[in-house]
Amino acid sequence: MVEPSPRSQVLDLIVAFRQTQCLRVAAELELADHLADGPCSLTALAEATGAYEPFLGRLLRALTGLAIVETVPGDRYRLTALGEQLTAPNLRAVARMYGSEPFWSAWEGLEHAVRTGERGIDHAFDADVWAYFASHPADAERFDAGMAALTGGSAGAIVDAFDFGRFRHVVDVGGGDGTLLAAILRRVPHARGVLVDIGDVVARARRTLETAGLGHRAEVLDGDFRESVPAGADCYVLKWILHDWDDEQATVILRRCRAAAPVTARLVVVERVLPERVGRADAEAVLADLTMMVLTGGRERTAAEFAELLRGGGWLLERIHRTGTGLGVVEAAASPAD
């Protein structure tokens, strides 16, 4: 097999946006779900999705080229192993989130962000991402569903990599729909949990925990963790929270946790941990950092940057546990000086 030329490789990177939108539209049309029970014809898929048949055919041809679907005798389409990942509840929600208006527009503002230091999304909508979601509930729902899907895909690896069994009272700070807290409580039958978040996500968290049969061991609170967090726990979890904020705001959140925590408590921060020296294998992590730059104004951090941030927030980094998923579990102890 001939190795692609450097020019071809760069060209593939330049036009990669087309693949994102093909997968987003496939997810919006729920094509994978319609094909989950077996091959379908173009006409049947057009009727099921309400799509314009000639253009749907061209999309399916492109998805064939991307190895998401394949053709079978009888002019029908079926899912490949890759395409099966777009069936609910897997990566369909992630495709919808990354191809949605706020993500797309935030990235369109990358040049503005690099030139000015302002978030790309502010340039696009004259509002930060949280204000945007507050006034665009459909996009907020896509975001929540995408984050839940990503958490669901990594929750098992997180509880495998880190021993939550030594804790009896876990507070999940900004815990979203409760997916991670449910995984922790299932793994640690003697523990009880509290999830604190704000807005519509609170109701979804209650449903997640009740459906998992954990409602009697978990409390869900509606509150702004930038103001306060529940006191007295022996473990505080921050998953994909600190990367949403710059160092100043992240320090405020850490100090809220420290003020609530006994001196024997542990802080568990689940985030990407950037390498000190970046190689090609680290592309996803550093691109995620740019996503935070243009979308929330936050950042991904190296181990050294986490250590410094934690010190400023009243915590001492003890160890980073690797999960095999691109996420690290950063364990910190309460600083006795605070």
Tell me the Cα Rg of the chain: 22
The reply to whether 136 belongs to the active site is no
Q: Encoding tokens for residue 87?
A: 């069936």
Q: Encoding tokens for residue 191?
A: 């523990």
CA atoms of 26 and 180, how far apart (whole Å): 28
Which letter, b or e, does each residue of 211-230 get, where b requires 16 or more Cβ atoms within 10 Å of its Cβ? ebebeebbebbeeebeeebb
CA atoms of 244 and 281, how far apart (whole Å): 23
Q: Which of 251, 243, 238, 247 is nearest to 273 (CA)?
A: 243
Question: How far are the Cα atoms of 288, 293, 336 from residue 259, in angstroms, in the given order?
Answer: 30, 28, 11
CA atoms of 77 and 60, how far apart (whole Å): 8
Q: Which of 169, 216, 243, 321 is catalytic?
A: 243
**First-to-last C-alpha distance (Å) of the chain:** 61
CA atoms of 10 and 266, how far apart (whole Å): 45
Residues annotated as catalytic (active site), given as ranges: 243
